Amino acid sequence: MTEEQTRVRTYPPPEEFAARANVRDAGIYEEAARDPEAFWAGRARRLHWFREWDEVLRWDPPEVQWFVGGKINASYNCLDYQVEQGRGEKTAIIWEGDEPGDTRTLTYSELKAEVEKFANVLKSLGVRRGDPVSIYLPMIPELPIAMLACARIGAPHSVVFGAFSANSLRDRINDCEARVLVTADSGPRGGKRTPLKANSDEALEDAPSVENVVVVRRTGDDVSMVEGRDHWWHELMAGADPECPAEEMDSEDILYILYSSGSTGKPKGIVHTTGGYLTHVNTTTDWVFDLKEDDIYWCTADIGWVTGHSYIVYGPLSNGATVLMFEGTPAYPASDRWWDIIERHRVNILYTAPTAIRAFMKQGTADIEKHDLSSLRLLGSVGEPINPRAWEWYHEHVGGGRCPVVDTWWQTETGGIMITPLPGITTTKPGSATRPFPGIFAGIYDDAGNEIEGEGSGNLVIKRPWPGMLRTLYKDPQRYRETYWEKYGDVYFAGDGARRDEDGYFWITGRVDDVINVSGHRISTAEVESALVGHPSVAEAAVIGRHDEETGQAIVAYVILEGGHEGNDEMAQELRQQVRKVIGAHARPQEIIFTPDLPKTRSGKIMRRILRRLSEGQEDLGDTTTLADPSVVETLRAHAGGRS
Ligand code: WTA
């Protein structure tokens, strides 16, 4: 029996919590199911629209439009509309830097003023409605300021996570042909610094679309500034016009592009538009996190990933929340940093990833016991399946046994949370994301395309369009169609496996494609393989995700060297460095196994399933009859001894 099947304990919402929850009536599920369009339209009305839509939904699979004809601006909703509702003096962002004590707060009025000025800076650099802007910044207030400034003038932003290499940055800039790049001198994290400007300079050697670079002085590190191209943020801001009214955008205008890994080497430019996306993240933030006016809300993700876009920036700010934003890591300068932050800022809501929880679990509870975490009221989890033991540890030790835990399943593509408990209603089961959010229709299909009703396992699908749905892949509608819609027609194929239990609860089992999830970061096996074979000594490489107690999955690379050379530790180090350089540090293989051969089918396809089982030390490799050369298994077993 697996860990999850032996569990019997369930957790009904604590009475006191349920009594004052934002959603108390379970009838909302039925109401939304009866008329999903009316349900979402009702939710959209919480936002500010310059003009209401003519039609709620236009669905011509796989093309979707929500709130057709509506005029809206995301930046207006996150700023002006909040000020209009009396939140001008309310704190929008509490920022905590990498060094303890380095903090900054911005009220909604202050944030609005910064955003308006930076929007004018972008305009003065020639950015017009529809022109993508690339942003490569650390977790500092200038990051949401730049994003909201783009949204204000209708320029789609493309945020690139700070750990990505120069090479990855260049590809992302070139794909969307940004004319402006916003970056910083360097980014501090955990006492170390990422040379963002130097990486940008390297990327720009081969990114001809970029005409202007805006550089935030974050650390004061020495950087080279190219005359005419590079400008200091603070200098441009000092001369910027303070007023920039928000553009009336069409509901379906692009709000942002965010690159994510797919099952081929090339990252996918996931496109989100404005009205539907904002409706989705606004409502899910309110209902899933049970946000209250005085809450201090902390999502530990980096804004460079979708979780930060939706649940640090657009969801919470469009609800007028006070958002804590942290630049550093859990372990710097000491292993109790997070608990110290929660205690000092009296954080009420914590949204984080299972991998962090498992890392804390390993350290024991001493750090937690040193701090007063009684302000916490609700805990969230996202990014990968949370195993029941980690769930319970989170509930008991971080939440003191009193906070509901919401395990939220969603993806960059879905824009917002899709399967989740509603904390005042749902009885949770550790390890299950429970039920689809009201107005979301999830299902399970088998490989042949038959829907599995009731209990059973298969591929997770979404059966009807939802407001936060990706609209396409940037400049690649064909790949959009193939990746998500070819398998099942007008049903969205999520790429995850799932099981539904006797109560209709969903248990997400992980990716069914060639995407690995390491510490909640999506990494494509093909991308790592292509980085490895880019090294002159590598003839061939196969990459798999091996189960890992802490990070969920760990990257294992099987490598064949040119000319049959034997590998050694030095070569393994060099190859890790190669992956770091081509993709970024987060994609480095944990283990590199040199081998003279790989398991392939007769048509030459690498059988990763066999490598996965071998790497986990399993005796049973499953069906090996399709192997072109069955003796390869013994060769691999012999070489696994020589792992690096
Ligand atoms: C996985 C992050 C299980 C899943 C928001 C999905 C999860 C991928 C959960 C998307 C969860 C995310 N339980 N698995 N609660 N949340 N995943 O695009 O495999 O970075 O397809 O979006 O993470 O990762 P992405």
What pLDDT is stored for residue 571 in this prediction? Answer: 96
Tell which atom from ligand 1 comes closest to the C-alpha of 386: 13
Atom number of ligand 1 nearest to Cα 407: 15
- CA–CA gap between residue 297 and residue 288 (Å, rounded): 12
Separation between Cα atoms, residue 315 and residue 44, nearest integer Å: 13
Instruction: Give the mean model confidence (pLDDT) for residues 82-87.
Output: 98
**pLDDT, position 267:** 87
Is 232 a known ligand-binding residue? no
Answer whether residue 143 shows pLDDT above 90. yes
What pLDDT sits at residue 609? 87
**By alpha-carbon position, which residue is closest to atom 8 of ligand 1?**
411
pLDDT at 605: 83
- Rounded to whole angstroms, the Cα distance separating 478 from 419 reads 28
Cβ–Cβ < 8 Å for 218, 187? yes
Q: Which atom of ligand 1 is nearest to the CA of 419?
A: 15
Question: What is the CA(634)–ligand 1 centre distance, in A?
Answer: 35
Look at ligand 1, atom 12, and give the residue with the nearest C-alpha. Answer: 383
* CATH number for the domain running over 519-642: 3.30.300.30
- Tens digit of each residue's pLDDT (9 = 90 or more) over 214-247: 999 999 999 999 999 999 999 999 999 999 999 9
**Tell me, what's the pLDDT at 621?**
87
Q: Is the pLDDT of residue 195 over 50?
A: yes
- Is the CB of residue 226 less than 8 Å from the CB of residue 248? no
* pLDDT per residue as tens digits for the range 38-64: 999 999 999 999 999 999 999 999 999
Instruction: Write down the pLDDT at residue 643.
Output: 54
pLDDT band at 3 (very low <50, low <70, confident <90, very high): low
Distance 317 CA to ligand 1 centre (A): 23
Nearest CA to ligand 1 atom 3: 385
Residues 6+ apart with CB under 8 A from 531: 578, 579, 581, 582, 583, 587
Which among 304, 327, 314, 200 is positioned nearest to 258, based on CA atoms?
304
Q: What is the ipTM of this complex?
A: 1.00
Residues 502-521 have pLDDT tens digits of: 999 999 998 988 899 999 89
% the chain with pLDDT above 90: 88
Annotated binding residue at 192? yes
**Ligand 1 atom, smallest distance to 420 CA:** 15
**Does the pLDDT at position 122 exceed 80?**
yes
Confidence of residue 418 (pLDDT cuts 50, 70, 90): very high
Q: How far does the centroid of ligand 1 lie from the alpha carbon of residue 310, in Å?
A: 14
Name the closest-CA residue to atom 11, ligand 1. 409
Lowest mean pLDDT among 97-106, 143-152, 615-624: 615-624
Cβ–Cβ < 8 Å for 458, 442: no
pTM of the model: 0.94
Residue 1 — pLDDT band, cuts 50, 70, 90?
very low
User: pLDDT-derived band of residue 21, with 50, 70 and 90 as boundaries?
Assistant: very high
Q: State residue 6's pLDDT score.
A: 53
Cα 61 to ligand 1 centroid, rounded to whole Å: 24
Please determine, for residue 608, whether its predicted confidence score (pLDDT) is greater than 90. no
- Whole-angstrom CA distances from 644 to 356, 422, 529, 589, 641 are 26, 45, 17, 10, 9
What residues flank ligand 1, with Cβ below 6 Å?
260, 305-307, 382-385, 407-412, 433, 495-496, 508, 510-511, 517, 522
| Ligand 1 pocket mutation pick from 4, 281, 384, 469 by most atoms within 8 angstroms of CB | 384
How far, in Å, is the centroid of ligand 1 from the Cα of 305? Answer: 11
State what percent of residues in the chain have pLDDT above 70: 98
Instruction: Find the 493 Cα to ligand 1 centroid distance in Å.
Output: 14
HEC profile of 433-448? CECECCCCCEEEECCC
Reported for 345-348, long-range contacts at CB under 8 A and 24+ positions apart, including other chains, are 345/94, 345/96, 345/296, 345/298, 346/296, 346/375, 347/296, 347/297, 347/298, 347/375, 347/376, 348/292, 348/295, 348/296, 348/297, 348/375, 348/376, 348/377, 348/378
pLDDT in tens, 358-374: 999 999 999 999 999 99
Nearest 5 degrees, angle CA 290-CA 292-CA 295?
A: 105
- 394, 411, 484, best to mutate for ligand 1 pocket (most atoms within 8 Å of CB): 411
Cis peptide bond prior to 333, omega within 30° of 0: yes
pLDDT, one tens digit per residue, over 477-487 is 999 999 999 99
Mean pLDDT within 583-603: 91
Question: Could you tell me the distance, in angstroms and rounded to a whole number, from the CA of residue 110 to the centre of ligand 1?
Answer: 34
Give residues with Cβ within 8 angstroms of 573, minimum separation 6.
none
274-281: average pLDDT: 98
Q: Where are the domains of the chain?
A: 8-110+255-498, 519-642
Provide CATH code, domain 8-110+255-498. 3.40.50.12780
Q: What is the pLDDT of residues 376-390, one digit of tens each?
A: 999 999 999 999 999
